[in-house]
Every structure is written in C-alpha cells, then in structure tokens.
C-alpha cells in the first residue's frame, strides 16, 4: 500500500498517455549506408566506390562481397557476381564482357 501511495503522489513516476508525433522526414542523406544483421555483421553497403561512382555491395556470412551493382567511372553499369573468394564468377565475367561489348 505504501508503494501505491508513493507512486500516485510522486510527479516523476507518472506516465503521460499522449504520444508526440515525430516530424516527417522526406530525405535521409549519408555518404555510406551499412546494413548489419542481428549478429552485427555487415550485410549490405550502399555508397560510392573508389572512383566516386555509386554502388551497392552485398556480403555473404563470411564477410565476402558476393554481389555488387554500380557504375564504373565512365558511367557504364556494372553487375558482378563473385565466388566465395571474391573473384568474379565465370558466368558473371562472361555476361559483363558481352553486355559491355553490345553497348
């Protein structure tokens, strides 16, 4: 009973039932966005590469880049599928070579 009485008479224990609406945000800006899994490991990175061109890198469970999508410095598109050693897979390299030649 003493706890109830104290709780009802102390100002700092009262909880407000009204919720404050957060202001709407229309744009979020950053140089790099890193998405991590529940275990803290990097899963996805969105940012710019060494040439300053935009890219998206997707990592496997071992921290290796397995998929990258972006633009080269000359604005040509890039889509690379890597093997477990982060080397472009044969099918990915063949597709990229064929696609670049056809432009």
Query: Tens digits of per-residue pLDDT, 34-93?
Result: 999 999 999 999 999 888 899 999 999 999 999 999 998 898 999 999 999 888 887 665
With a cut of 90, say whether residue 3 has pLDDT above it.
no
> pLDDT at position 2, please?
47
Strand 65-71's sheet: what is its strand order?
Answer: 33-36, 42-48, 54-59, 65-71, 77-81
Whole-number Å distance between alpha carbons of 66 and 86: 6
Check the CA dihedral 49-77-26-17 and report its sign: negative
Write down all domains in the chain, each with its CATH number in brackets. 32-103 (3.90.930.1)
């Amino acid at each position: 009973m003493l706890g109830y009485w104290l709780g009802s008479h102390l100002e700092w224990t009262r909880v407000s039932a009204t919720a404050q609406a957060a202001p709407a945000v229309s744009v979020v800006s950053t140089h790099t966005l890193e998405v991590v899994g529940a275990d803290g490991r990097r899963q996805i990175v969105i940012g710019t590469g060494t040439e300053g061109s935009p890219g998206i890198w997707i990592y496997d469970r071992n921290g290796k880049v397995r998929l990258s999508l972006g633009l080269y410095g000359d604005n040509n598109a890039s889509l690379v599928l890597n093997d477990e050693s982060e080397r472009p897979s044969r099918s990915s390299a063949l597709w990229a070579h064929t696609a670049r030649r056809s432009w």
